[in-house]
Structure 1
Amino acid sequence: MTDGGLILVVEDSEEDTEAIQRALSRSHPFLDLEFAPRSEDVLSRLLDPAARTPDLLLLDLNMPGMDGLTLLSSLRAHTACASLTVVVFTSSTASAEEDACYAAGADSYIYKPVNFELFQTVLRGAVDFWLPRAADGAVTAAPPAAPPA
């Protein structure tokens, strides 16, 4: 289990925010969590030199205003955010959205399970996999999907 580090969670749903907080506080009690309910606020927060740099960004796609995919593209366009580990954690099961996220530079795309126990297990696995890689600087984005043959 990995403890320590900061995860910035971009999530507009209060219900999902509470579930994420509950799940990660159980599996990673020493992990710092910061929540941003609006995508529009995230880029300026990440570019603020006085703000602590997160080790991992957990990103919802379906948000009011700027959606998660637009935010992801904006993040990857800034050199200060280009190496930030971004895990898309969404209820969207559309393969076109998944492909678009990988093409925009997502490191991982994970579906939000409805069952809380599975939700907690999936989150724990994502954090255990990605957080050490982010800390070591060994993160490389998943390759874009291959074009159809």
Structure 2
Amino acid sequence: MSGAAEEHRVDHDLVWVLEDSAEDAEAIARALGRTHPGLTLEFTDRGTGFVERLLQAARRPGLVLLDLNLPGLSGGAVLRSIRSRPELNDVAVVVFTSSTEPEEVDTSYAAGADSYIYKPVNFELFRTVLKGAVDYWQRKAKGGDEGPAAQPPS
């Protein structure tokens, strides 16, 4: 007999985006559509129920792009909830937000963010930053250690 437990696998070509701004969601879709046409993107605009969806998904994303400024359940609360679940340890969480507040950066890393990236206003830079982040996390998932030239903390 096969086991009753449902098998969950991480798909590194699947990215879940938690973003409440329709404009930013469209920019993410356009940017990654150009740089990573093989990715599957799934968008949601609410933190409520997000972790439950992750836990139930047979095909989990290799990467979650998480905005901090969400209505209802905040991105920070979603991040803490993801990191409180050991079964989600293989899911990389990149905070992708407009906030540059040092306290939010520190709080995000303390809560378990894998990266914290500021959303540039310029689309070309936006696309370049997203490309670098996705390239890095895909390479890391495949066992590659070197990423893009990382900016040291200031």
TM-score tier, shorter chain, comes to 0.7 to 0.9
Q: Check the 8 A contact 1:55/1:135 in 2, yes or no.
A: no
Select which of 106, 128, 135 maps to 2:135.
128
Q: Check the 8 A contact 1:90/1:111 in 2, yes or no.
A: yes
Measured in 2, the distance between the counterparts of 1:97 and 1:68 equals 11
Select which of 78, 96, 107 maps to 1:100.
107
Q: Check the 8 A contact 1:56/1:134 in 2, yes or no.
A: no
Aligned to 2:54: 46
Give the AA of the match of 2:18. Answer: V
TM-score with structure 1 setting the length: 0.85
**Identity in percent:** 57
Select which of 15, 31, 35 maps to 1:27.
35
Question: Structure 1 residues 132, 13: closer, same or farther in 2, change over 3 A?
Answer: same
Q: How many residues align?
A: 135
The Cα shift of 1:49 comes to 4.5
Structure 2: runs of 5+ lacking an equivalent:
1-11, 146-152
SS at match of 2:128: helix
Select which of 72, 75, 78 maps to 1:65.
72
SS at match of 2:88: coil
CA offsets 1:102-149 (integer angstroms, 9 cap, x no match): 0000000000000101100100010011122134497xxxxxx9xxxx
Runs of 4 or more off by more than 6 Å in structure 1? none
Q: Check the 8 A contact 1:10/1:58 in 2, yes or no.
A: yes
CA offsets 1:14-44 (integer angstroms, 9 cap, x no match): 0000000000000000111011111112111
TM-score with structure 2 setting the length: 0.83
SS at match of 1:53: strand
Aligned to 2:26: 18
Aligned to 2:148: none
C-alpha root-mean-square deviation of aligned residues, in Å? Answer: 1.7
Q: Check the 8 A contact 2:62/2:90 in 1, yes or no.
A: no
Question: Structure 1 residues 63, 137: closer, same or farther in 2, change over 3 A?
Answer: farther
Structure 1: runs of 5+ lacking an equivalent:
139-144
The Cα shift of 1:82 comes to 2.5
Structure showing greater Rg: 2
Measured in 2, the distance between the counterparts of 1:65 and 1:130 equals 28
SS at match of 2:29: helix
